[in-house]
Amino acid sequence: MRVFLDTNVLLSGFFGAGLCSALLHRLLESEHPLLIGEPVAREFVRVASDKFQVPPKSLALALEVLHRQHLVAAVDVSIPGIPDADDVPIVACALAGGSELFVTGGRALRALGDVRGLPIVSPRDAWARLFAAA
């Protein structure tokens, strides 16, 4: 299953502990392709540097891992119904990349349930869908 991780899940996965970290590491070791949107990569760098003050070496290592994944170019598509306009290019990348699962910690996006058939789930729900039977 092609999986797209939102910025908040990636940040928690790389620089936190707990479920997001376990999910990210399990995905990197699994057969499930991990898609990263260009807008997510840009936001990842900005938030990691400015908000979380991640040391440059740690950020460089994380970016090295991200760039080995399936990078989806930014697309300019209108998607009505997404509550936060900043999320539109991110969801558009997930759709353009053929993602089959969009994972986010954002409640507003998760409240949609899906966008154009793309399920939007929490990290816990993603874990259950991808690895519970394993």
pLDDT reading at 8 higher than 60: yes
pLDDT at 76: 87
Q: Residue 114: which pLDDT band, with cuts at 50, 70 and 90?
A: very high
Q: Tokens at residue 78, please?
A: 């209108």
Taking the C-alpha atoms of residue 118 and residue 114, their distance in angstroms, rounded to an integer, is: 5
Nearest Cα neighbor of 25 from 133, 127, 134, 132 is 127
pLDDT at 134: 57
Neighbours of 82 (CB within 10 A): 19
pLDDT at 13: 97
Q: What number of CA atoms fall less than 13 Å from residue 93's CA on the CB side?
A: 23
Taking the C-alpha atoms of residue 89 and residue 25, their distance in angstroms, rounded to an integer, is: 25
Domains and their CATH numbers in the chain: 3-131 (3.40.50.1010)
